[in-house]
Chains A and B, each alone.
Chain A
Amino acid sequence: DAGVIQSPRHEVTEMGQEVTLRCKPISGHNSLFWYRQTMMRGLELLIYFNNNVPIDDSGMPEDRFSAKMPNASFSTLKIQPSEPRDSAVYFCASSLYSGGLTDTQYFGPGTRLTVL
């Protein structure tokens, strides 16, 4: 099993540019989560999907952030326009939803984003 795959692993961009992060969840998993991790705020949930449908996007910081899941094997997180304060490590995680009481999450390796 390949695990959760994220790309790119590192992204350096300039303020104002559009950034797209990609995630391929574990095959068969039906829940997908996007997190952001910084030293100051720790690991924060941005948005999660269940069966490709966005369930809770209350963690998305502002309208500059958007996420899509067009099918069960692919999701994107887009930042447009990017700002220096968006610099962080972005993780994607997937799980097999089974009523929520025993679900564990499998994380990808993360994308380290630096906005200059």
Chain B
Amino acid sequence: SQKIEQNSEALNIQEGKTATLTCNYTNYSPAYLQWYRQDPGRGPVFLLLIRENEKEKRKERLKVTFDTTLKQSLFHITASQPADSATYLCALPPWGSSNTGKLIFGQGTTLQVKP
């Protein structure tokens, strides 16, 4: 069965540095992948979507890459700030369901940016 793997250990970085989070998936090639941010006590909030034919997507200080050969997406936050501290979830459509809107979420990686 398909799996989504995100680093379960929290990522601690210094303010101003670039944070890089990893999402690995197995057993199939999704048509797209999404990244969400979740703050404590709140629901996830959509950040970026990248399609299988796109290598890279940017939005302000955020950058996402999608390597379909490695079956991996990297999520970068440049010039990180304490306000970027949150849990980041990757999500992708389950096998055979790319056109349904259904998503499977990774466990998420918690980012802590220290001032």
Residues of A within 8 Å of B46, CB to CB, are 104-106
Check if A43 sits within 8 Å of B102, measured CB to CB: no
Which of chain B's residues has its CB closest to A31's CB? Answer: B101
Check if A43 sits within 8 Å of B49, measured CB to CB: no
- Which residue of the partner chain, among A4, A43, A103, contacts B101 with CB atoms under 8 Å? A103
Interface size on A, residues (CB 8 A): 26
Q: Mark B76-93, 1 if CB is under 8 A from A, else 0.
A: 000000000000010001
B51 at the interface (CB under 8 A from A): yes
Residues of A within 8 Å of B93, CB to CB, are 100
B10 at the interface (CB under 8 A from A): no
> Chain A residues in contact with chain B, CB under 8 A?
4, 31, 33, 42-43, 45, 48, 50, 55-56, 91, 93, 95, 97, 99-110
A-B contact sample (5 more), CB < 8 A, given A100-B97, A109-B41? A42-B108, A43-B105, A50-B100, A50-B101, A108-B43
> Chain B residues in contact with chain A, CB under 8 A?
31-32, 34, 41-46, 49, 51, 89, 93, 97-108
Q: Would you list the 5 A-B pairs with minimal beta carbon distance, nearest first?
A: A107-B43, A100-B99, A103-B101, A43-B105, A42-B107
